[in-house]
Structure 1
C-alpha cells in the first residue's frame, strides 16, 4: 500500500458542468468542486483522459429526459482513463497506482473533471501498451460496435460464419471500431462515409467503401452485389425502405441511435414475424466486453483513431466539435494542461 500513502488527494478539483438543459457548448461552466468520495465497491480515479460521445450532448439537450440528467448541476461524460488513488470497502481487484479504463455511472457522470468515482464492476486495468487517450475511447463507442456485431451473429473465436455486413457512417466513433471488429470476426465489410475518409476505411480492412453523397452510396448497394446479413447503423435519416432491398432474406439492421419511429417499426417487425428486421440497440455495459476490447488494443489487433485532443480548459471546444458531427474517430479531453 505504499502507492496509496504516496497519493495525496486534494479537497477540491477542477470540473466542467452545466446547470440546465440546453445551451450547447456555451452552457458548460468551469467550476471548482469537492473531490468525490468513494463508497462500497467504488474507486476514486485521478483522470488522465475522457472521450466525448454524442449521447453526452444529447443528455444536455434534454433528449433523454426525464431519465437523464438525474440531477443538475451535472458533470457530463462517462468514458475515462486514469489512475486509482483510493478504493472503497469491498474492492479487492484494484489498489492505488493501478492504471485503468472505466465507464462511469450514466446517472452521475463525472468524466469532465480531475477526479471521478467509478464502480469496480465497470473498471478494467490498462496495460502500459494502451495510452489513456486510447483507452478512454473504448467504453461506449467500441462497446456498442461489439454488441451490434454480436447481434448480427459475429463471433470472435474463429467459429463464426463469413457474413456480409454494412456499416453506415463508418468514419465516426462507433463506425471505426465496428469496421475493425468486423474484420477480426472474418466478415465481409461494406462501409459508408464521406469522400475524404474512403482510403482510411480501406486501410482498416473495409472490402468496399461507398461515398454516401453519391447515388450508389445513397442506395447502400454493395458494389459486388452482395446482400447484407446485417447492418450496423451508426447514423440517422435512412429509411427502412432504403435498407429493405439490400438485406439478405433474414437480414437485420442494428440501429444504435433509435428514435421513436424506429422503435415502432421494430415492434411491428416482431409482431408480424418479419424475416428482415430493424433491431434497436441500447448498450449493455459490462466488464467482460471492456476487458476484451482493452486486450485488442494491447495486442494491436484494433486501434483507437483519435480525431482531436483538447485540454480540460478547452472542453467546450471539444463539446462543440462533437455536436457538429464531422469528427473522424474519437474526441478526447485530457486533464493535464
Structure 2
C-alpha cells in the first residue's frame, strides 16, 4: 500500500501562515487525458502561494480544501496519460501546474502537457523550477506590456525595475538587457552588487532619498517601469516618467486599478498598466533555452527539503528573499 502514497504538504483552511501547513501522506495522483505524472525534483514558491492561503484570492482560489500549494516545478516524467504525444517516461521537464489544483509541495504531481517543456541537462531542476511564474511574468511585462524586443532591435528604452533582487525582478533585469535598454534598478543595499552583476546599468538603494524618489542617477526619464515592489504610489512614479511613460504593475491592487481607470478616463499619456500573466508554453520553452545557453540564470535564495517546507513558506511571507526559494522532495 505504501507504494501508492506520497509525502505532501497541504493546508485545510484560510490563514495560519507557515503553522497552517500540515505534512500528510496522500495517494499519488493519476495522470488524466493530456497529463503527465512527474516525480518532482524541485518546486519554487511564489508570493501568490501564501496570498491564496491568506484568503486574498477567495472565493476563486483555492477551489477546495485540503489544498497542496505550489505550481512551479521541475522533475522527471514517470507516466503519461492518454493523448500525450511529446513526452515519455524518463524525460526531464519543467512545468507550471494550475493554481486551481496546485500540487507542487509533494513528491509527485500531475502536469498538463500544454504547460510542460523539456529540460536539457544543462539546466538544473532548481533553475528550471524558478522559471514559470516569475520568469514568464518578467518576459510578458517586458515584451508585451513594455513592447521591448529581446533581439536588440528597436530604439533604446529607458527602463526602471523596482524590487530588482526579488523573484520577478532578477529575471526582468537579465531579460531586459537582451533588448536595447538602459536599466535602472532598485533593491536593498545588500543586493546592489548582485543586481549590477545581472546587468543593471544603474542601481538605487530604495532606502536612500534618491532611491525612495526613484530618481535615475543619470537623470533619465523612464519610458517604462516594471513595478515588482509594493507600496509605491503613482505620485512617486509620475515625475520620473517620460511623456508617454507607463508603469507596468505586476501585482495590481485596488489603488492601482483606480489609477489605471483614472488615467484612461482623462486620456493621460502617462499610463498605469495592470498586468496579469498568461502562461504560454512557447515562452517557457524560450526561457529554459536561455538558461541552457547561459544567457539567463535563476538566482536562488535558498533550498529547503520538503520535510521543512514551512521554513521556505515563512521565508516567502517575510518578503526579503533574494531570487527564488526552492523546495526539494
Compute the TM-score of the two structures, normalised by the length of structure 2: 0.98
CA contact (8 A) 2:80 2:87 kept: yes
Alpha-carbon shift at residue 271 of structure 1 (Å)? 2.4
List alignment gaps of at least 5 residues for structure 1: 1-8
Deviation of 1:186 after TM superposition, in Å, equals 2.4
In 1, Cα distance between the equivalents of 2:64 and 2:258? Answer: 29
Taking the aligned partners of 1:119 and 1:54, their CA distance within structure 2 comes to 22
Task: Give the deviation of 1:203 after TM superposition.
Answer: 1.1
User: Residue 111 of structure 1 aligns with which residue?
Assistant: 104
Matches of 1:84 and 1:96 in 2, distance apart? 5
Q: Deviations over 1:225-271 (max 9, x none)?
A: 11000000001111100000000111110001110111121122222
Of residues 53, 56, 61, the one that matches 1:60 is 53
Q: What SS does the corresponding residue of 1:10 show, helix, strand or coil?
A: helix
Match for residue 203 of structure 1?
197
Q: Give the structure 2 partner of residue 143 of structure 1.
A: 136
Asked whether 1:219 is paired with 2:213, we answer yes
| Distance apart, 1:274 and its partner CA | 1.4
Question: Which of 265, 276, 281 pairs up with 2:259?
Answer: 265
> How far 1:158 moved relative to its partner?
3.1
d(CA) in 2 for partners of 1:208 and 1:157? 21
Q: Alignment partner for residue 68 of structure 2, among 62, 75, 89?
A: 75
- CA deviations on 1:153-183 (whole Å, 9 max, x unpaired) are 1111332321000000101000000000011
Other structure's SS at 1:158 match: coil
The residue that corresponds to 1:303 in the other structure is: 297
Match of 1:188 in 2: 182
Instruction: Tell me if 1:124 matches 2:117.
Output: yes
Matches within 5 A, 1:1-337: 10-150=3-143, 151-335=145-329
Matched-pair contact (CA < 8 Å) for 2:153–2:180? no
Q: What RMSD over aligned residues (CA atoms) do the two structures have, in Å?
A: 0.9
Query: Aligned to 1:100, what secondary structure does the other structure show?
Result: strand
Deviations 1:183-202 (A, max 9, x none): 11121000001111111111
* 2-structure distance, mates of 1:244, 1:181: 25
**Structure 2 stretches lacking a partner, 5+ long:** none
Moved over 4 A (4+): none
Could you say what secondary structure the match of 2:24 adopts?
A: strand
Equivalent-residue separation in structure 2 for 1:262 and 1:39 (angstroms): 39
| Aligned partners of 1:208 and 1:223 also within 8 Å | yes
SS at match of 1:184: coil
Q: In structure 1, what is the Cα distance between the partners aligned to 2:230 and 2:303?
A: 26
Residues 153 and 160 of structure 1 are in contact (CA less than 8 Å); yes or no, is this contact kept in structure 2?
Answer: no
Aligned partner of residue 123 in structure 2, secondary structure? coil
Instruction: Find the aligned partners of 2:33 and 2:278 in 1 and give their Cα distance.
Output: 22
Task: State how far apart, in whole Å, the 2-side matches of 1:270 and 1:294 are.
Answer: 36
Number of positions where the alignment pairs a residue of Structure 1 with one of Structure 2:
327
8 Å CA contact 1:16, 1:30 repeated in 2: yes
Measure, in 2, the Cα distance between the counterparts of 1:122 and 1:10: 27
After TM superposition, the structure 1 stretch with the greater mean CA deviation from structure 2, 158-167 or 209-218, is 158-167
Matched residues in 1 for 2:244 and 2:273: separation?
12
Partners of 1:205 and 1:268 lie apart in 2 by 35
